[in-house]
Each structure stands twice: as C-alpha cells, then as structure tokens.
Amino acid sequence: MDWSGQLGADGNQKFGIPGGHPIPGLSAFGIGEQLSGAGAAATIATSRDKKYQFQSNNTYQAGAHVLKFGVNLPRNMQTRYYAGNNGAYSGLTIGDFLLDTLAGKGRGAVAPPWNHMGWRNIIFVQDSWKVTRSLTFNFGLSWEYTSPIYEKEDRQANINTFTGELIYPGKTQYGRALYNAYKKQFNPNLGLAYTINQKTVVRAAYRLSNFLEGTGANLRLPLNPPFFTESNVTYDVNAPGRIATGFGDLIARGDLTGPRSSPTAAPFYQGRAWDLNLRPQMTNQFNFAIEREIDKATSVNIAYVGQHGTHLVIPHEANNPLPGTGPFSTWAPINDRRPLARVLPNVGNIALTESSGTSWYNAMQLSGRRRMTGGFEMLFQYTYSKTNTDGLGYYGCGGVNAEGAYWQDAYNRRGNYGPACFDVRHNFTTAGIYNLPFGKGQTFGSGMSKAADLLLGGWNINYNLARRGGFPVTVFASQQNTNSGRSPRGNARANRYRPANFSGTRTVDSWFGKVFTASDFCAAGVNNGTCAYGVPALGEFGSSGVGTERAPGFFNLDTSIGKTFRFTERHRLEFRTEMFNVLNFVNWGPPGRDINSPSTFGQITGQIGSPRNIQFGLKYFF
C-alpha cells in the first residue's frame, strides 16, 4: 500500500521491481531472520450486507401444555470485494537476497464486487408440559434448510478436488451454487426441571443445532479465474525463484486449465474449492445441573456441561504435495508432486472449504450467588473444563500461540486434534457490591445529623476479579515449512520425543525456565535420548501434538468506590472512582515457541491487557 502517498501506481518500479501491480504503493516483503518486512500486502476489502426476513411466532396454551410454533425465513445477500491474500514476496533472508533466490511470491487482483445470496429457512414447534407441580418437560423439533450459496450473476467456479474438473453454474448437477444441498437439518431438543423439595431443583437438557459457518472472504468461489485472477507461486527449495524478475512473470488473466509457462516453471494460480457435499455443522449440547438453596439469600449450582461438534466447516489444502520416495534430495520438485499436477498443471495451492472438523467440550461448573442482604451482594463462578478440536477455524485466536487454521499434514486430520486455542483448565470469576453500613437507616449512625449523613453515609464498594490458567502453546520448527515443502499451508511442528522437564524460575526472558541454545534441541531427525523437542528430518512432519505447552495465566481485579449525596427525595448526586487493574498486575503474552530460533524460545515480548487505569465520574439525578 502507498503509506507515504508518494509512490503511486508505479511504486514497485520506483524500487526497481519489474512487473505491474493492481494497487498503488509498494508490495509486501517478508524478509525473515527477525528482520522487519517492508511494504504491505494490500489485502483490501469492501462489504455490504442486505437481509430480508419474515418471522412468525405463535403460542397456544391448553391445560398443562404451552405450545409454541412458527417459521423464520431470512434471505441474505452479501456484496463483497477482496483483493486476495498474496500480494507479497516471501522467504527472503540476507543470504537469499544476495544470491537472488526466492521462496514464494504472489499478486492480488482488482475485479468487480461479487454478490453471494441464499436462504436459511426454519420451521419449529415446541411444547412445555407441566406434568406435576414439581416436574416440567420441554420438548420440541425444528427443521432448517440452509440453501447452497450462489452468485447473483453466476460469476464463480468450483473445483472437483478429486478429479480436477472445473464446475461452472448451471452446467452440472450442482446447479448455480456448485455444491449439493443438504436437507436433513432436523434438530430435536429436550429438557426437564424437577423440584425435589423446596430447596433443591434438578435440571437437564439436550439440544441439537445446525449452522453453516461463514468462510473467510479469501476462500469464496468468485475468486477463481477467469472472474478473478490471483497469482500465488511456491518455489521448490531445490529450484528457488528469482527476486530480480519481480512480478513480470505472473499471469494477469487466464484460466485454471492453462499450462505452465514452461515444464520446469512453478504454477501461478491460487485455486478455491468448496466440498461438493458441504453441509452445516452439527452441534450436540447437553447439561445436567443441581441447584440448592443454602438460606433465603444464598444458592449454589453445580453442573456438567458438554458440547460435541461434528462437520465443522474448516479450510483444507486440497492440492498438498505428496511425499516422494527415497532420500529427500532425490524427490521430484514440490509442484510436480501435487495430486492435480497433471490435470491442472498451472494451479498450486487449492484452498478447500469442507465440513470435516470435530470438537469436544466437557466442563464442571460451580456457581453461587448471594442476593443483597445486609448491604452485601456477591456471585462467583468456577469452571474446570477441557476443549479439544482439530479445526482452529478461519480467524484463529488473537494473542495466543496456537496452531494455524490449516492442518500440518493435509492428509491427516487426526494429527491436529488437541487442545483448542481457547482451552483453559481453570477459570474463576467473582464480583460483588457492599454498601457500607454508615448513615441514616444503617447499622451505624442511624441517628446522625443530615450534615453528617451527607458526609459519611451512602458509600459503597464494588469489585470484579478474574483468574484463569494459560492458553495452549504449539511448538514449531518453522524452517521445515520452506525446507521440505510438505506443509505449504500449515505450520511445521517440532518433533516431540518426551515430556519437557523445564526447570528453573519462570521469567519473561525464560518462561520455560532457562535461556535456550541450539544444543538444547535435537538435530534434524535425531533423538539423543535427553531432548524434549527436535527438528524433523527433511520431508517429514513433526511428531509434536497441538498445544503441548502452556502460556502464562491471567489475573485482573477491578474495583470502584462510590458515594451517593441525597439532598431531597428527588435530587441526589452520585460520585464514583473506578479503578481498572487496581493492583497494576502485568499479564504476559505467549512465549516464543520456534525451536529454529532457540534464543527466543520461551521469551515473552508482549503483554495482555492494560496497566492500572483510574477514572472519576459524577452524575446528578433530578
């Protein structure tokens, strides 16, 4: 992008980079070796949504039954433009720059906005049946239909990732949307509440729900040629690209079936595909809870809460290079090992949107509440939980060193099953308010004068405390991404030979107990019998699982002190001092996790949250 306003449409040429580019400014450069990049990838976008909805909810009561039924018919149209994700040079280091070698490059495009349209129809019926004074059943059923999404003017194309066949609107069995409809979204729900006695209630419920998650804009089918032509070139480590050629050798217009510029050239095109049987996810939710009254103002609740998701919509690299035979040095070039290399020789990566992800959430939840009594009110909640998944989702987790959206091994979904990026074992929160017992009508000073009450009465204290454990950290061996070419989309993990026994004091410079050197990690493909992690051999994936280490936890305490000045029944003044992070506690970000950069492994360079902040407020009521 043209951050200076002086580069203009020929910004690359002013820096000696051949080849045009569709957006003014300087393209992005990923330099590597802890050096800052330059330019910007220009991933610009516009979006406008239109929604039309008809909804009817009806209630009918007969005796012990309360029947609810209705329909919901929303229609959505999304108008979008997206320039693509690939306006960049990547894999540069000082040595590569001097030798004129390049790991990859790409260029986005400018095209008219596309319009995606579809329906999501819902019909439901539910009955609440009060069987006895102590027992109530709820049961119901809904049917939903999420229609396949089509482009208003049929400007999109799909790819059959098994055969390489290109699918266009209205020319195959898949119709305008280019994938099959799914019409079996029947969603039952059951629930009960049983009062054992005046102080104890048992509740249980089950629900099946469906939802088709929206993908990132970069994965939509209108971004396929010939409607949108984005170049994305990944070079083989044994046949790197040239920096000096710039973008002059990238194709500005074309078709996915086009040939390569030469038999040894790298493919230019970035493809998008949606699974031909794409369907909404299925989410099973279930819970069981017991609530008990301790006294008239206090109650506690203990519950098991679970959720199992299947058919989660995730991104998947569908043209991932296959392994060669024999030593890695004898393997064929990376782009000749792609499954569709013969059918679509000029297509490199194909981002497939499919519904194959799974997730599990299991939790014990303990909560309690004391209603306002004696000027004091509080609540608390503690959760002990575990969340596993093999699909991070499209947008990841900010501030968490988790796994990427794509699997390390595109042919092994189970290899990415592990703690979710937001998985936390222990999570505790509590909040409360205390009205100090001073002033008229209070325990102390009930007979004080109006002047004294104006000064001493009406004070209150509030607090909100949060404490949780750390998020998972996935250990990488980043050089394997560029060296082996086996994981062009995913992140290359390290080998894990044994559980890490990190000792020493945890600090921001050494969260794992020490400052590391290369000798602390095993060399490529070698297990020395003592190291916890090592570099995978060329052509192999790392054996480490997802989320094998943990980042620092989180603690925060907010408080406020308030005072009410009552002049008359209708006039009063409220003063409040609010203190956020009152203890000025520093919450650290995730530690470095790349064993190919041992000096930064375990090093924390950022923090989460803000320092202490104090603000004052004054409010007059009349």
What is the pLDDT confidence band of residue 132, given thresholds at 50, 70 and 90? very high
Task: Calculate mean pLDDT across residues 240-247.
Answer: 72
- Rounded Cα distance, 456 and 433, in Å: 18
- Rounded Cα distance, 198 and 193, in Å: 13
Quick check: 42 pLDDT over 70?
Answer: no
- Rounded Cα distance, 318 and 324, in Å: 18
CB 512 within 8 A of CB 591: yes
Length of the chain: 622
- Rounded Cα distance, 560 and 158, in Å: 57
Q: Please report the pLDDT score of residue 255 as a whole number.
A: 83
Residue 98 carries which side chain, given as an amino acid letter? L
- Rounded Cα distance, 544 and 490, in Å: 14
Exposure letters 429-439 (e unless 16+ CB within 10 A, then b): bbebbebbbbb
Quick check: 106 pLDDT over 70?
Answer: yes
When the pLDDT of each residue in the chain is averaged and rounded to a whole number, the result is 87
Strands (E), 131-254: 135-146, 150-151, 158-159, 166-167, 185-197, 200-211, 231-234
- Rounded Cα distance, 358 and 283, in Å: 10
Task: Calculate mean pLDDT across residues 170-198.
Answer: 94
Q: Please report the pLDDT score of residue 35 as a whole number.
A: 55
For 551-565, how does the pLDDT look when each residue is reduced to its tens digit (9 = 90+)? 999 999 999 999 888
Between the two ends of the chain, the Cα-to-Cα distance in Å is 54
Q: How far is CA 334 from CA 12, 266, 267, 487, in A?
A: 29, 9, 10, 11
For 336-372, how does the pLDDT look when each residue is reduced to its tens digit (9 = 90+)? 999 999 999 999 899 999 999 999 999 999 999 999 8
- Rounded Cα distance, 35 and 6, in Å: 24
- Rounded Cα distance, 414 and 152, in Å: 37
For 277-327, how does the pLDDT look when each residue is reduced to its tens digit (9 = 90+)? 999 999 999 999 999 999 989 999 999 999 999 999 999 999 999 999 888
585 is written with which tokens? 């506690």
Task: Calculate mean pLDDT across residues 132-161.
Answer: 95
CB 411 within 8 A of CB 320: yes
Q: Please report the pLDDT score of residue 363 as a whole number.
A: 97
Residue 447 carries which side chain, given as an amino acid letter? G
* 400 vs 480, residue with greater confidence: 400
CB contact set of 411 (below 8 Å; sequence gap of 6+)? 320
- Rounded Cα distance, 24 and 160, in Å: 35
DSSP 3-state of 341 = coil
